[in-house]
Structure 1
């Protein structure tokens, strides 16, 4: 009975070391890529935060205009 308990403890310790090592050394970062989605607003203007008169002269990215930054 003592051998089985000792084996279980050793396996748990090795498993914990493996999980911690993978958390620190494993490369789990996602591949980043830019995504642009054209959105038509209910009033038909097409660009958030701009009027129809200055829609052609807006600067910045679409996401900045949509978020108000």
Structure 2
């Protein structure tokens, strides 16, 4: 498995949020970083993000969809 992205890689990533995000920025942002997905709070962009594997993120998204 690839090594988790460094703090510098997270900071330099191209972050985006869903088009479904609320207008008042109450959402998370994500970034694709190699085979990882960075996740951070859109209300506190100076706080460090975290990285999870793309497979774990996909499983999370599928579980959220299933709960709808």
- Tell me which interval the TM-score lies in, with the shorter structure as reference length: under 0.3
Query: Which is richer in strand?
Result: 2
Query: Which is richer in helix?
Result: 1
TM-score (normalizing by structure 2) = 0.22
TM-score (normalizing by structure 1) = 0.22
Q: Which gives a bigger RCO, structure 1 or 2 (Cα 8 Å, sep 6+)?
A: 2
